[in-house]
Amino acid sequence: MTKTTNATADWRMTMPEEWTVKQLAEDGSEVEIPLREHPALRDYKTKDEAVKALVHAQRMLGKTPEGYVRMPGKDDGPEQVAAFYAALGRPEAPDGYALPEIDLPDGFEVQEAMLEGFRSIAFDLGLTPEQVAGLYQWFLPLVLDTHAGLEAEARQLKDSELESLRAVHRGETPRMLDNALRTAEVLGGKDLLHALDQTRAGDRAAVIAAFAKMAPLVLESGMRTSGSGWGEELSREKLREMMQDPRYHDPLKRDPEFVAKIRKGFEQLYPGDYIPGSRL
């Protein structure tokens, strides 16, 4: 009895060797191989299985398989693009995206205009609700962490600049800072102080030192006046001297008219919301 080999048992070996087909080689070139050696036939155990698969493939030609979504081409219009995005799961409008709740630090609030812009861009890109929610949940904490890092860096810079001023001016640092602040306020008012805060220029030692150097001209020579009702030269030194008077600092001997005179002197010497003794 003759033993059957794998070659003779393989139905593909019954196919004539002269039946050939084009096939891509590993190097990308096209070669001609016997049909019975084609890799696609290895998945079928018998000839009947291969024939049935061929008939089924022929029946499916021209039909759209279940779950198939055709990607729009460059010649397709907005309607075809919208249909494509809708098939992928995009909502009908930007407000159809539901964003997850995220705990925000105290003092933080996400502006509604930013959320509307976020939804609008996501809609234009054809993102699904799941993609938008995931992106938002990743992006917002990243923004908060970045902001916290910038704030910490700004505080560190401010402390470093202040320490450099203390190293130079020692015990005179508070008075120098006060002079710089009042000079800036006299020169530019609240608008200048706001600009210095917003740009953080007011935290820089060089800026503070520059305003402090202008203080003798602005706060003393420039603002020094005879003072209506004073009858004497008005100056910071004079006000300091008067604040040592018991009529000002002693509760038992306090004189309201004398106190009012000192307050009026500060108001004339330092225009703005200034409280005597708060910075001197």
| pLDDT tens sequence across 168-208 | 888 888 888 888 888 888 888 889 988 998 898 988 999 99
64 Cβ partners below 8 Å, 6+ apart?
70
DSSP letters, 67-119, are: T--PPP-TT--HHHHHHHHHHHT--SSGGGPPPPP----TT----HHHHHHHH
| pLDDT tens sequence across 82-132 | 888 888 889 999 999 999 998 888 878 888 999 999 999 999 999 999 999
User: Would you call 186 exposed, middle or buried from its count of C-beta atoms within 10 A (0-12, 13-18, 19+)?
Assistant: buried
What is residue 60's predicted lDDT score, i.e. its pLDDT?
61
Domain ranges of the chain: 6-60, 93-146, 226-280
Q: What is the mean pLDDT of residues 134-154?
A: 88
| pLDDT tens sequence across 17-47 | 888 888 888 887 888 888 888 888 888 888 8
For residue 7, pLDDT beyond 50: no
| pLDDT tens sequence across 42-73 | 888 888 888 888 777 777 665 656 666 677 87
For residue 221, pLDDT beyond 70: no
Q: What pTM value is reported for the model?
A: 0.45
Backbone angles phi, psi at 20, to 5 degrees: -120, 165
